Amino acid sequence: LKPLLEISGLRTSFDTFDGKVRAVDGVDLEVYAGRTLCVVGESGCGKSVTARSILRLVEDSGSIDAGSITWHGDGEPFDILSLDPRGKRLQRLRGGDIGMIFQEPAASLLPLRTIGAQLIETLRIHTGLDKRAARARAVELLDAVGIPDPKRRIDAYPFQLSGGMCQRAMIAIALCANPSLLIADEPTTALDVTTQARILDLLRDLQAEHRMAVMFITHDLGVVAELADEVAVMYLGRVVERAPVDELFADPKHPYTKALLASVPVLGRDRGRDLPTIPGTVPNPLHRPSGCSFHPRCAEAVAGKCDIDAPTEVDFGGGRTAECVLYDTEGARA
Ligand code: SF4
Ligand code: MG
């Protein structure tokens, strides 16, 4: 399998009043053509910043300090981080090769323009269709994402549509140019459960139809179980475990992954019972713990070891890795 997108050693930081915060601290990830990578972790783990770094959407308030993000689309691979931030290639990548949807439709839908105007403009930038053809295509796209009566709704303003419908309109815009990769940052988090399920179904259908790769950012392991082929678990700016989805659920290696899985309600079993939660809170990235940054919360931490040395990545083979001292370099329990 050849990756479509390859992130290597990515470091992204933000200046705050209290100092420099390294939100992403050495991330390696691959996204494969036609497959879904779910990036999961608690809020503040750096998953959104990782996603936004791919399209260079962090640079007004932050900086990308190290690493490479290689795009292997059609043609010669190139490092997205070496592109001119105002150049044509980055523009073509955003909304062209790579579509992006966010938790809040407001982050990408303009409140004072109709859904149709926004769709038509994006279509014209990325596909070169004339106005008439773009309008016809826009109606098709609204229909494809399940917006009823698209010929009428195309002239609606975002405030005239429900949250779920706005989310669908945002997906239509992201799909305009037939992207090879769709980045979705918690796109269903703000929706009720039924609408959330419908949007996930829609994304799955669209992915199968367009053979897109999807990078799905979420804190919800239920969503991971439904959508993912591959999973990356993030904690405090690092990927602490990677695995094919079935293996992650069946045999989690990293204590943080185990704790996350233990905190998920299993239908039936846990109903009406207090859910276990992971003790402690995510530390402030300004005051990163020494050694393994999970050690203050880890049930399996080894005193005199985990609080001193940062663990190196163990490669278990078959796309499985974990950063934890509990395994030796061959992946056996140390
Ligand atoms: Fe826990 Fe130590 Fe592994 Fe970190 S390295 S996850 S503290 S056992
Ligand atoms: Mg986020």
Which tens digits make up the pLDDT trace of 175-210?
Answer: 888 899 999 999 888 788 888 888 888 889 888 888
Same domain, 194 and 263: yes
Select from 253, 302, 321 the residue to mutate for testing ligand 1; criterion: most ligand atoms less than 8 Å from CB: 302
Q: Which domain holds residue 160?
A: 108-176
Number of domain units in the chain: 2
Same domain, 264 and 122: no
Angle 65-105-63 from CA coordinates, rounded to 5°:
10
Same domain, 156 and 182: no
ipTM: 0.96
Same domain, 184 and 284: yes
- Packing angle of the helix pair 193-210, 163-175 (nearest 10 deg): 10
Alpha-helical regions (H) of the chain? 47-54, 88-93, 115-127, 131-144, 150-153, 163-175, 193-210, 221-227, 245-250, 255-262
Q: Is residue 20 part of a domain?
A: yes
Nearest alpha carbon, ligand 1 atom 1: 301
Same domain, 136 and 274: no
Residues with Cβ within 6 A of ligand 1? 254-255, 292, 294-295, 298, 300-302, 306, 311, 324-326
Among residues 178, 177, 182, the alpha carbon closest in space to that of 200 is found at 182
Residue 154 pLDDT? 96
Residue 265 pLDDT? 62
Same domain, 84 and 228: yes
Interval 301-322 mean pLDDT: 94
Same domain, 127 and 114: yes
Q: Is residue 329 part of a domain?
A: no
Same domain, 65 and 181: yes
Structure tokens at 72: 């292997």
Q: Is residue 11 part of a domain?
A: yes
pLDDT band at 104 (very low <50, low <70, confident <90, very high): confident
Nearest alpha carbon, ligand 1 atom 7: 295
Same domain, 134 and 221: no
Number of Cα atoms under 13 Å in the Cβ half of residue 245: 16
Residue 277 pLDDT? 67
Question: Which of the listed residues 152, 176, 200 is the one where a domain comes to its end?
Answer: 176
Question: Which of the listed residues 122, 143, 176 is the one where a domain comes to its end?
Answer: 176
Same domain, 86 and 146: no
pLDDT band at 268 (very low <50, low <70, confident <90, very high): very low
Task: Please tell me the least confidently modeled range out of 31-40, 91-100, 272-281.
Answer: 272-281
- Give the CATH number of the domain where residue 67 resides: 3.40.50.300
Question: Which of the listed residues 143, 176, 209 is the one where a domain comes to its end?
Answer: 176
The pTM of this model reads: 0.92
Select from 235, 278, 321, 326 the residue to mutate for testing ligand 1; criterion: most ligand atoms less than 8 Å from CB: 326
Q: Is residue 102 part of a domain?
A: no
Give the other-Cβ count within 10 Å of 275's Cβ.
10
